[in-house]
Chain A
Amino acid sequence: MLNFDNASTTKISKSSLDAYVKASEDFFNPSSLYAQAAKVKQDIEQTRDFFKKQFKAKQGSTFIFTGSASESNNAVLNSCITRKDKKYIIGAGEHSSIHNTAIKYKEQGYNIVFLPLKANGGADINALSGLLDQSVAFVSIIHVSNETGAINDIKQIANIVKEYNPNIIVHSDGVQAVGKIDINLKEIGVDYYTVSAHKINGPKGIGALYIANPNKFKPFIIGGGQEMNLRAGTENTPAINAFKVALQEIKPYDYSKHKQVLLQNIDVDYYLVSDNECVDNIISVCFKGVRGETIEHILEQKGYIIGTGSACNSKAGKNRVLSQIVKNEYIDGAIRISFDKDIKIEDCVNLGKEITNAVKLYKERTKR
């Protein structure tokens, strides 16, 4: 089985898994006072320092470890959306953990506005200035779209926002950006940044949140004072150590050839959502007159795992992000292909051919 659904999750690497197992054996509670516990605590602090260095965090900032990127995103919105007389700008293509949380606040009467999308699923920066006014308190825009791979220029977004009013808090969900594009948090100038381990060959159940000004952050989970009083709960030391190893192993990797070869081998008409302003490892492509989910199942039978843009059921509704940018006749036939390092060029050739076969087979069997 070849996994072309790596934007959903990746396989944990051997070294990350080894680190997880080893840290599990050092089971001591980092908050305890004996020497073994102190060593565990020290490991966590070293990992935190490594994160700061790796992401070029600004002086005085920190990272906290969370249970998932969804928790990190929820924590930021919980801390920042506090006043009903303020305006909060949320990208229209955010991950569900941001979108659904924002909708929850909107339903409670908070003034949430959505920044529209461009055709490739990226945020329409030109529309940002029009939304800014003195009541804006918070902006959250995803760094790389999980649906289409569109890269948002967060540095430019933060610049526009901070130039308008330096007190506006800026957050970005960087889950799909880590390991794919260079991240320099000091330069980008965001106040919060979300990352996750399982998208970069680390374990599941661990995320982290960059906090530029820890004294302004209101903790989401309150309890025993762990993580400098910013996130309670006994630290998930195995996952934290494994996250560090996964991050250490990241190397720049060029997927442009993969994308090119795959698309070259799809010999049926398609609509490509993921243009040149997208990361090369995520490709959203749509076919007219087919159902993405059926294509997914046909490919699954051939040994290829891909993702779908839209489920095979009308009741569950259309894909929230794609329905804003893709013509109606294409949405049902959306699929998402996402690479990882173990995918070879010839695998892309084969997948392209199998996609062609699947789409042709579908059309032939359902033609009238």
Chain B
Amino acid sequence: MNKVILIRFSEIHLKGGNKKYFIKLLYNNIKHALKAFECTIENIQNRLIVKDYQEEDEIIEALRCVFGVHSISKAIQMDSDKNKIVDYVSNLNITGTFKCDVNRADKSFPIKSNDFACDLGEIILNNNPSSKVDIHNPNTVLHVDIRENGKTFIFYEIIYAYSGLPLGETRDGLLLLSGGIDSPVAGFCMAKRGLRQDILHFDSFPYTSPQAKEKVITLAKTINKFIGAKYMYVCSMTKLQEEFHIHCNSEYAINLLRRSMLRVANILCDKYKYKTIITGESLGQVASQTIESLTSTNSVAKYPVLRPLISFNKDEIINIAKDIGTFETSVLPYEDCCTVFLPQNPVIKPKIKDAEKEESKIDLEQLFLLW
């Protein structure tokens, strides 16, 4: 009998032939997430367990941030021996209302789940006079999980993680990260579907402060436990913004800037083999995120642009930002896009051909050679 942390998978059990691959991936990701802790990780049938550890709460917190983990429990592991389980349950101290929940994955175990749950409930009632069964709304749920490998796990609490799919081995995504609330959440959302990402940030020094860049670096560090980045690129847009400002129709300034941001992302995708670009755009949130604006910016992208927040309301995005710990940094006052270059009335329905006409007023190709 020993103390373990029980890890359940999400979705992986739906995978057919790839199941083994995903479990291995999850195992490696968990190993990486727990590298600061002394512990061993064991793969048992359809579960992973952590044993021989000290820092229980810290390990659980780290596991919560690993995608592909459905839920976690602090459990006692013992052999699937009816007498041993009964012995253990006999010694439990339970007050108030409770119920027993038995899951018999091992069909060779001699008693059916419901019957065994009733037996265990009776034992608890007899040994704890102040306890009472309530199967609808109990204070305590005693879970008994009888696995196929001859091991049984007994636990009370189920701590839910973010589920999703394990982060892939290769960094396939390039996240466009600003200092705002949305883009860190977008990175988180795509990582939840297993997309490992590196980061691209645009700054406008000297029109913005070094603190604005530091803020984005802080955000990058905060989300990195989710997105698994290795590199963060910082690209200065100052020269481009100045050129757009001087030569082009001011109403198009933001649209032109965003088109150029995607062009920079294209260059990095070409060079470093990223397969997709991730942005924090949400339909209609601001002028640059209308369907016409997105069409104009999208038209220069050579790679699929994933916009996981496209249907999210601002308060939904804020709730996730608070949950993943980026909100407080995002609302620090350092702006990463200086208001000097922001038009009074940005175009709401830009046309691709008008954007191209504006771009033709400057030597864009020459400017891109700067990179």
Contact between B242 and A366 (Cβ–Cβ < 8 Å)?
yes
Q: Which of A351-368 contact B (CB under 8 A)?
A: 365-368
User: Which chain A residues lie closer than 8 Å to B246 at the CB level?
Assistant: 365, 367-368
B29-37, B203-211, B265-273, B297-305: which lies at the interface: B203-211
Q: Which of A277-309 contact B (CB under 8 A)?
A: 291, 293-294, 296-298, 300-301
Q: For the complex formed, measure the closest distance between the CB of A5 and the CB atoms of chain B, giving whole angstroms.
A: 15
**A316 contacts chain B at the CB level, 8 A cutoff:** yes
User: Which chain A residues lie closer than 8 Å to B250 at the CB level?
Assistant: 368
- Which 3 A-B pairs give the minimum distances between C-beta atoms? A297-B206, A315-B333, A316-B333
Residue from B205, B334, B339, B341 within 8 A of A297 (CB atoms): B205
**B335 contacts chain A at the CB level, 8 A cutoff:** yes
Residue from B210, B242, B333 within 8 A of A313 (CB atoms): B333
Contact between B206 and A365 (Cβ–Cβ < 8 Å)?
no
Contact between B205 and A312 (Cβ–Cβ < 8 Å)?
no
Residue of A nearest to B245 (CB): A366
User: Which chain B residues lie closer than 8 Å to A365 at the CB level?
Assistant: 242, 245-246
State the CA gap A311–B212 with chains docked (Å). Answer: 12
**A314 contacts chain B at the CB level, 8 A cutoff:** yes
Contact between A368 and B245 (Cβ–Cβ < 8 Å)?
yes
Contact between B340 and A291 (Cβ–Cβ < 8 Å)?
yes
User: Which chain B residues lie closer than 8 Å to A368 at the CB level?
Assistant: 245-246, 250
User: Which chain B residues lie closer than 8 Å to A291 at the CB level?
Assistant: 207, 338, 340
* Residue picked from A294, A301, A312, most chain B C-beta under 10 Å: A312
* Residue picked from A291, A294, A301, most chain B C-beta under 10 Å: A294
State the CA gap A230–B335 with chains docked (Å). Answer: 44
Q: How large is the interface on B (under 10, 10 to 19, 20 to 34, 35 or more residues)?
A: 10 to 19
User: Which chain A residues lie closer than 8 Å to B208 at the CB level?
Assistant: 312
User: Which chain A residues lie closer than 8 Å to B340 at the CB level?
Assistant: 291, 294, 366
Contact between A314 and B335 (Cβ–Cβ < 8 Å)?
yes
State the CA gap A291–B204 with chains docked (Å). Answer: 14
State the CA gap A314–B335 with chains docked (Å). Answer: 8
* Residue picked from A311, A313, A368, most chain B C-beta under 10 Å: A313
User: Which chain B residues lie closer than 8 Å to A300 at the CB level?
Assistant: 206
User: How many residues on A have C-beta within 8 angstroms of the other chain's C-beta atoms?
Assistant: 18
Q: Residues on A close to B: CB < 8 A?
A: 291, 293-294, 296-298, 300-301, 311-316, 365-368
User: 9 A-B Cβ contacts within 8 A?
Assistant: A291-B338, A294-B207, A296-B206, A297-B209, A298-B206, A312-B338, A314-B335, A366-B245, A368-B246
Q: A365-B242, A366-B341, A367-B246 given as contacts; is B333 within 8 A of A293 (CB)?
A: no
* Residue picked from A291, A293, A365, A367, most chain B C-beta under 10 Å: A365
Q: Please give 5 more A-B residue pairs, beta carbons under 8 A apart, in addition to A365-B245, A368-B245.
A: A291-B207, A294-B340, A298-B206, A300-B206, A313-B333
State the CA gap A315–B212 with chains docked (Å). Answer: 13
Contact between B245 and A294 (Cβ–Cβ < 8 Å)?
no
State the CA gap A366–B339 with chains docked (Å). Answer: 11
Residue from A296, A298, A312, A366 within 8 A of B335 (CB atoms): A312
State the CA gap A366–B206 with chains docked (Å). Answer: 12
State the CA gap A6–B233 with chains docked (Å). Answer: 35
Q: A291-B340, A366-B341, A368-B250 given as contacts; is B207 within 8 A of A312 (CB)?
A: yes
User: Which chain B residues lie closer than 8 Å to A367 at the CB level?
Assistant: 246
Contact between B207 and A315 (Cβ–Cβ < 8 Å)?
no
State the CA gap A115–B339 with chains docked (Å). Answer: 34
Q: For the complex formed, measure the closest distance between the CB of A360 and the CB atoms of chain B, giving whole angstroms.
A: 14
Using an 8 Å CB-CB cutoff, how does the interface string of B235-264 with A read, 1 for contact, 0 for none? 000000010011000100000000000000
State the CA gap A302–B341 with chains docked (Å). Answer: 23
User: Which chain A residues lie closer than 8 Å to B334 at the CB level?
Assistant: 313
User: Which chain A residues lie closer than 8 Å to B210 at the CB level?
Assistant: 297
State the CA gap A311–B335 with chains docked (Å). Answer: 10
Q: For the complex formed, measure the closest distance between the CB of A292 and the CB atoms of chain B, giving whole angstroms.
A: 11
State the CA gap A312–B371 with chains docked (Å). Answer: 27
State the CA gap A314–B338 with chains docked (Å). Answer: 10
Contact between A315 and B245 (Cβ–Cβ < 8 Å)?
no
User: Which chain B residues lie closer than 8 Å to A315 at the CB level?
Assistant: 333, 335
Q: A316-B333, A366-B340 given as contacts; is B245 within 8 A of A311 (CB)?
A: no
Contact between A311 and B209 (Cβ–Cβ < 8 Å)?
yes
Contact between B335 and A313 (Cβ–Cβ < 8 Å)?
yes
State the CA gap A316–B208 with chains docked (Å). Answer: 14
User: Which chain A residues lie closer than 8 Å to B245 at the CB level?
Assistant: 365-366, 368
State the CA gap A311–B250 with chains docked (Å). Answer: 25
* Residue picked from A293, A296, A367, most chain B C-beta under 10 Å: A293
Contact between B209 and A314 (Cβ–Cβ < 8 Å)?
no
Q: A313-B334, A368-B245 given as contacts; is B206 within 8 A of A294 (CB)?
A: yes
State the CA gap A298–B204 with chains docked (Å). Answer: 12
User: Which chain A residues lie closer than 8 Å to B206 at the CB level?
Assistant: 293-294, 296-298, 300-301
Q: Which of B167-185 contact A (CB under 8 A)?
A: none
Contact between A293 and B341 (Cβ–Cβ < 8 Å)?
no
State the CA gap A294–B203 with chains docked (Å). Answer: 13
Using an 8 Å CB-CB cutoff, how does the interface string of B319-361 with A read, 1 for contact, 0 for none? 0000000000000011100111100000000000000000000
State the CA gap A368–B339 with chains docked (Å). Answer: 14
User: Which chain A residues lie closer than 8 Å to B242 at the CB level?
Assistant: 365-366
Q: Which of B183-209 contact A (CB under 8 A)?
A: 205-209
User: Which chain B residues lie closer than 8 Å to A294 at the CB level?
Assistant: 206-207, 338, 340
User: Which chain B residues lie closer than 8 Å to A311 at the CB level?
Assistant: 209, 333
User: Which chain A residues lie closer than 8 Å to B207 at the CB level?
Assistant: 291, 294, 312
State the CA gap A298–B333 with chains docked (Å). Answer: 21
State the CA gap A298–B208 with chains docked (Å). Answer: 11
Q: For the complex formed, measure the closest distance between the CB of A263 and the CB atoms of chain B, giving whole angstroms.
A: 23
Q: For the complex formed, measure the closest distance between the CB of A307 and the CB atoms of chain B, giving whole angstroms.
A: 13
Q: For the complex formed, measure the closest distance between the CB of B352 and the CB atoms of chain A, giving whole angstroms.
A: 24
State the CA gap A293–B334 with chains docked (Å). Answer: 12
User: Which chain A residues lie closer than 8 Å to B338 at the CB level?
Assistant: 291, 294, 312
State the CA gap A297–B238 with chains docked (Å). Answer: 13
Residue of A nearest to B341 (CB): A366
State the CA gap A367–B246 with chains docked (Å). Answer: 6
Residue of B nearest to A296 (CB): B206
Residue of A nearest to B208 (CB): A312
Q: For the complex formed, measure the closest distance between the CB of B353 and the CB atoms of chain A, giving whole angstroms.
A: 23
State the CA gap A239–B333 with chains docked (Å). Answer: 35
State the CA gap A294–B339 with chains docked (Å). Answer: 12
